[in-house]
Amino acid sequence: MALSRIWSAFIIIAITVAGIKCFFFGDSQIFAWMVSGKASDPSNPLKLDGIIETCWVAVEICLKLIGILALFIGFMNIAEKAGGIRLLSRIVGPFFSKLFPEIPKGHPSMGHMIMNFSANLLGLDNAATPFGLKAMESLQEINVNKEVASNSQIMFLCLHAAGLNLIPVSVIAVRAAQHASDPTDVFLPCMIVTFVGTITAMMIVSFKQKINLLQPVILAWILAISAIIVLLVFYVTKLDAAGIQLFSGKVSNGLILLVFLLIVLGGLYKKIDLFAAFVDGAKNGFDTAIRIIPYILGILVAVSMLRTSGTFDAVISAMKHFFVMLGADTRFVDGLPTALIRPLSGGAARGMMVSTMTTFGPDSFASRLSGIFQGASDTTFYVVAVYFGAVSIKNTRYSVGAMLLADLVGIITAIILCYLFFGNSI
């Protein structure tokens, strides 16, 4: 219900703002650009896709997603039949049984979730989505009320949306392409912000679900994970931009191939019909991709309307005037467009980041802050729509509020860290 109200509000606000611009400020073309505008059209002053083009973009995204989902869920099906997922579930069982008390001991969903979290940590977006959708399907199997999000599903999605990520490779790559003096200087702030966001999400959901995070098992796992992250951060900070991209590529792509190899070897050891198991899983991946098309389409169209109507520009302008009136430093406001659109669309946020770098320079305060925002969270509304939509959940309960609150904490943390690290930047 929360997502339905927010989605409706996006459309109402976008059309209202466009109407005001058309009838009171003389922008007679605004409706045309909102509906049929093309970003590639030289005469389009917005340089943004309208509703029609966004529908095509949504379908293109889903077509690409079909192959990815079919591939990874096909391999996941082999892993399940070979017992690999249950092995992972037993390994993380002591920790997850405390954080997800409603999940039965050794349930496959634990293995699916740890695969998703691992893929997110390494920036493997293509792998994280199939693993995440599979985790949601597994959790739905033990969900008593099939139309209402369970506690376990909410905890999982809130942790997923917090976007704990080791290396923001795409941000570093864009900064390098924009000729930043040190493309990797946002790496440590990004890492800290994602960690703070993840812990915040865990604390918010645990408070709602009355989970005691001070249990020795939970503390031991969090400290162990933190220690591993610190060691990796220590190593990565010694590398330059090219070295980080090379390291990330080797680790990320190498791990995918290693997982595929272990799954196939495990299937052979268990004497499973590997190809038949893969095909069965791939069919499920295909069905899942088709099922989530309406959810992706709905979110992307609403975001397109907000952007083309000028709503974001109006919000940013109002915020800047507000902080000027307070006499505060307004440098951070120029980086906020990325933070505001990041929960809605990863691609749009990336575009905002590039635009900020082009306008203010790659080494400016606003550009560095924009890079931290881009590398420090996931697309909240996209995650809610796609993951809950994949299992036909209609009542998401408090999940949207929890995710947005964690996003807000991440935004505040990013601003504070940017002033600490880059306060002398223009």
Closest CA to 186 of 29, 385, 48, 374: 374
Report d(CA 297, CA 391) in Å as an integer. Answer: 17
Cα dist from 41 to 49, 122, 349, whole Å: 9, 37, 21
What CA–CA distance (Å, rounded) separates 406 from 408? 5
Q: How far apart are CA 391 and CA 291, in angstroms?
A: 9
In a domain, 39, yes or no: no
Mean pLDDT in the chain? 87
Distance CA(95)–CA(224), nearest Å, equals: 11
Checking if the pLDDT of 426 tops 70, the result is no
Assess if residue 29 is contained within a domain. yes
Answer whether residue 84 shows pLDDT above 90.
no
Q: What are the pLDDT digits (tens) for 138-157?
A: 999 999 999 999 999 999 99
**Token representation of residue 395:** 């009542």
Whole-angstrom CA distances from 263 to 72, 93, 278, 423 are 11, 20, 11, 48
Per-residue model confidence (pLDDT) at position 262: 93
**Which two structure tokens, joined as six digits, stand for 271?**
């004497």
Residue 148: strand pairing partners: 395
**Residue 398 included in any domain:** yes
Q: Are 108 and 160 in contact (CB under 8 A)?
A: no
Half-sphere exposure of 48 (CA within 13 A, CB side): 26
Nearest Cα residue to 99 out of 151, 135, 136, 161: 151
pLDDT for res 305: 92
What sign has the CA pseudo-torsion 212, 216, 217, 219? positive
- What pLDDT score was predicted for residue 213? 93
Distance (Å, whole) CA 136 – CA 134: 5
Q: How many domains does the chain have?
A: 1
Dist. CA 291–CA 279, nearest whole Å? 18
Q: By residue range, what is the domain housing residue 340? A: 2-34+45-422
Assign residue 397 a region: left if phi > 0, alpha if psi is -120 to 50, beta otherwise? Answer: left
78, 131, 187, 286, 426 from 73: Cα distances, Å: 9, 7, 31, 9, 47
**Domain assignment present for 312:** yes
Q: How confident is the model at residue 353 (pLDDT cuts 50, 70, 90)?
A: confident
Q: Please indicate, yes or no, if residue 109 is contained in any of the structural domains.
A: yes
- First CA to last CA distance, the chain: 43
pLDDT of 212 > 60? The answer is: yes
Tokens of 340: 């505001």
Reported as a pLDDT band with limits 50, 70 and 90, residue 46 is confident
Quick check: is 301 in a domain? yes
Mean pLDDT of 157-176: 83
40 in a domain, yes or no?
no
Distance (Å, rounded) from C-alpha 99 to C-alpha 206?
A: 8
Residue 102 lies in a domain: yes
